[in-house]
Amino acid sequence: MIELKNVSKVFESGEKQVTAVQDVNLTVEKGDIYGVIGFSGAGKSTLLRCVNLLEKPTTGKVVVNGRDLTAISSTKLREARKKISMVFQHFNLLESKKVYDNIAFPLRLAGEDKPTIKNRVDQLLEFVGLSEQAEKYPDQLSGGQKQRVGIARALATSPDILLCDEATSALDPQTTASILELLKRINREYKITILIITHEMQVIRDVCQKVAVMENGKIIEQGSIFDVFSNPQTKTAQNFVSSVMNDRIPKSILHLLENDSRHIYRVTFVGDSTGYPLLSQVAKRFHVEVNVLHGQITELQDIPFGNLIIELQGKEDEIRRAQLYINQSVQLQEVLADAN
Ligand X SMILES: Nc1ncnc2c1ncn2[C@@H]1O[C@H](COP(=O)(O)OP(=O)(O)O)[C@@H](O)[C@H]1O
Name which of Mg ion, ligand X, none residue 276 binds, using a CB cut-off of 5 to 8 Å depending on partner kind: none
Name which of Mg ion, ligand X, none residue 42 binds, using a CB cut-off of 5 to 8 Å depending on partner kind: ligand X
Considering the complex, what minimum distance in angstroms separates the CB of residue 236 from ligand X? Answer: 13
Among 6, 11, 68, 119, binds ligand X (CB under 6 A): 11
In three-state secondary structure terms, 67 is strand
Among 24, 44, 146, 167, binds ligand X (CB under 6 A): 44
Contact between 166 and 198 under an 8 Å Cβ cutoff? The reply is yes
| Residue numbers 20-79 binding Mg ion by CB under 5 A | 45
Task: Establish if 193 lies at the interface with Mg ion (CB under 5 A).
Answer: no
Task: Establish if 20 lies at the interface with ligand X (CB under 6 A).
Answer: yes
| Apex 295 CA angle, 289 and 301, nearest 5 | 130
Task: Establish if 236 lies at the interface with Mg ion (CB under 5 A).
Answer: no
What are the phi and psi torsion angles at 327 (to 5°)? -65, -30
Contact between 68 and 243 under an 8 Å Cβ cutoff? The reply is no
Task: Establish if 42 lies at the interface with ligand X (CB under 6 A).
Answer: yes
Task: Establish if 43 lies at the interface with ligand X (CB under 6 A).
Answer: yes
CA distance to 10, 224, 250, per residue, from 23 (Å):
11, 21, 38
Comparing CB distances to ligand X, the nearer of 8 and 176 is: 8
Among 38, 57, 150, 232, binds ligand X (CB under 6 A): 38
Contact between 11 and 22 under an 8 Å Cβ cutoff? The reply is no
Q: Output the residue with the shortest Cβ distance to Mg ion.
A: 45
Task: Establish if 261 lies at the interface with ligand X (CB under 6 A).
Answer: no
Task: Establish if 74 lies at the interface with ligand X (CB under 6 A).
Answer: no
CA distance 185 to 194: 11
CA distance 2 to 78: 17
Percent composition of the chain: helix, strand, coil (DSSP 3-state, to 5):
40, 30, 30
Task: Establish if 13 lies at the interface with ligand X (CB under 6 A).
Answer: yes
Strand order in the sheet with 303-314: 288-300, 303-314, 263-270, 332-336
Task: Establish if 46 lies at the interface with ligand X (CB under 6 A).
Answer: yes
Task: Establish if 41 lies at the interface with ligand X (CB under 6 A).
Answer: yes
Task: Establish if 89 lies at the interface with Mg ion (CB under 5 A).
Answer: no
Comparing CB distances to ligand X, the nearer of 44 and 205 is: 44
Task: Establish if 18 lies at the interface with ligand X (CB under 6 A).
Answer: yes
CA distance 26 to 182: 25
Considering the complex, what minimum distance in angstroms separates the CB of residue 166 from Mg ion? Answer: 6
β 193-198/33-37 pair status: parallel
Q: Given the rule CB under 6 A, which residues bind ligand X?
A: 11, 13, 18, 20, 38, 40-46
Q: Given the rule CB under 5 A, which residues bind Mg ion?
A: 45
